Amino acid sequence: MAHFELSKEEKMNGEEFTKDGAIDLHGRPAIRGKTGRWFAGIIVLCESHTHTMIVSLLPYFKSFFQF
């Protein structure tokens, strides 16, 4: 990842913006301290794991309950 220098507009009130070009819902540069980081990553991993378990167990339950 390349290192980018922050301009004066990007250092408003001491808030540091992400350096990877990430934007918020309104199209503004994302503030580093307010992004999801680990919490968002954990949510994504849990959701994908849950989906995998459901898809894997669906044939078992289908045969078990004789739908």
Q: What's the confidence (pLDDT) of residue 53?
A: 87
Instruction: Quick: pLDDT tens for 15-26.
Output: 688 888 888 888
Q: How confident is the model at residue 1 (pLDDT cuts 50, 70, 90)?
A: very low
d(CA 41, CA 48): 11
Within 10 angstroms of residue 35's Cβ, the number of other Cβ atoms is 13
Within 10 angstroms of residue 19's Cβ, the number of other Cβ atoms is 15
d(CA 22, CA 18): 6
Across 29-33, 51-55, 63-67, least confident range: 63-67
What is the chain's mean pLDDT, rounded? 77
Q: Read off the pTM.
A: 0.37
Tell me the domain boundaries of the chain.
1-35, 36-67
Q: Stretch 21-38: mean pLDDT, rounded?
A: 83
